[in-house]
Amino acid sequence: MDTILDKTERILKLRNYSPRTRSAYTLYIKEYIGFSKEKGIKNKQKAIEEFLLDKHKRGQSPQTVNLALNAVKFLYTQVLKNPQKIDLKFAKRSKKLPIVLSHTEIESIIANTDNAKYRLMISLGYACGLRVSEVVTLKISDLDIDELVVYIKEAKGKKDRVSILPEKLKNDLRNLIAGKNVKDFVFESNRGGKLTTTSLQKMFRKSLYKAKVNKPATFHSLRHSFATHLLENGTDVRYVQALLGHANIRTTQIYTQVTNPKIKNIRSPL
């Protein structure tokens, strides 16, 4: 197994897969090999089916099942070079609407963040539509404060994109990066280097609690709110798609269901 996992890790690195994807793929491949050996299933198709069914029985999400299937497919096609087709369809994903925070809720969350550095990080997450990983990896060279533009390098899917910076954060950003090297991270830890995503998510949850916002929101909800509020302001969905870096406009159109003005204008008959 160790030889297969080492070879998998090497091929994933050569294909420039992200560290998170590499970690997930090796985990599921290790699980799959262990499962098929334990059950004594030698037929490949049967082994994969039983492996995925076991995940379903244990209540794992369709997204997790699909990721596990992708990992196993990668094992056979790219690592073992097995030409036999894996005839399995992906699990149907649940279509949940994103958690969106109101302007008032976001203002309260920011106001209840005592630490100035984290307060600015939360503000940027909303104002620019950034993922938590994109905030912590932001470098000074990625900011064009005069032009009110931020460059997000090698985001999800290894894609670069450009987003907007708010006028009201210009001074805070200038003060934060004053005297630093352009290669430095915008938000450094107290010991130097970038902050962890865990620390930012933890601070967001703390601020959410202090603001008494009773929604199951996460840091990613700021990105959902960014998109929804832009659409509410009349921004064309294709511009929103570009700002978020979505490859498919259908991904962006989910926010039109949250902010559909025709539905909001309907009055209940009660």
d(CA 74, CA 116): 44
d(CA 68, CA 128): 32
d(CA 98, CA 100): 6
Catalytic residues: 131, 156, 220, 223, 246, 255
d(CA 27, CA 5): 9
CA-based radius of gyration for the chain: 22
d(CA 266, CA 202): 38
* Identity of the residue numbered 213: V
Lookup: tokens for 44: 């490949």
d(CA 127, CA 54): 42
Sheet holding 161-164, edge to edge: 143-144, 149-152, 161-164
d(CA 135, CA 114): 18
